[in-house]
Amino acid sequence: MSTAEETAGGEVAPWGEVTPDAARRLLMAAVEAFAERGYHATTTRDIAGRAGMSPAALYIHYKTKEELLHRISRIGHEKAVDILSTAARGEGTPAERLADAVSSFVRWHAGGRTTARVVQYELDSLGPDARAEILALRRQCDAEVRGIIEDGIAVGDFDVLDVKGTTLAVLSLCIDVARWFNVHGRWTPDEVGALYADLVLRMVGVK
């Protein structure tokens, strides 16, 4: 399945914000190459070839291979922040909002597993400035989940001794779905999202 087709729950195909079409094709080709071969083993020639373009054409849109990875990572992390902040600011109890955050985040990692693997596991391939920008977005993700957990503790709905550690565990569970999820396996992204939401609610002490 191509990156463009890997969408969960009928979402609009990813990378619509990337224009023109040639830049989008190159970015999608880079996602597939990075996920398959790893960032360091992928060449700009590999990426251009997958996109059906010449290596010279790549440099019209991206100065370096790292610029491609940075853009992929930034767009992916901005989407992650949006998913979690939407759930955190939604209506409902802390338990309902936490379940929504987890199920939505898991669906994104399962439905777009190829993209999510690159977004989540190639961070160390970025240079210092780009890495610092992505780490700031990751801290926003952490803050959204931590805020929901703190809300649940404040109203007596959650029983959590270590908020920081629990937040890390919740996010780690969600992110790891991109590593193992198989679109031809027994579960759909929706089913995995529902399962993980239930597991996380048990983790924070919801009966």
Percentage of the chain beyond pLDDT 70 is 93
pLDDT of residue 53: 94
The rounded distance, in Å, linking the Cα atoms of 43 and 34 is 9
The string of pLDDT tens digits covering residues 185-206 is: 999 999 999 999 999 999 999 9
From first CA to last CA, the distance across the chain in angstroms is 39
Is the pLDDT confidence value at 102 over 60? Answer: yes
Under the banding of pLDDT at 50, 70 and 90, the label for residue 155 is very high
Estimate the crossing angle of helix 113-121 against helix 65-88, to 10 degrees: 100
The rounded distance, in Å, linking the Cα atoms of 157 and 141 is 22
Q: What is the mean predicted confidence (pLDDT) over 118-123? A: 95
Is the pLDDT confidence value at 12 over 60? Answer: no
Under the banding of pLDDT at 50, 70 and 90, the label for residue 11 is very low
Phi, psi (deg, nearest 5) at residue 56: -65, -30
Specify whether the CB–CB gap between 7 and 13 falls below 8 A: yes
Percentage of the chain beyond pLDDT 90 is 89
* Residue corresponding to tokens 């926003």: 140
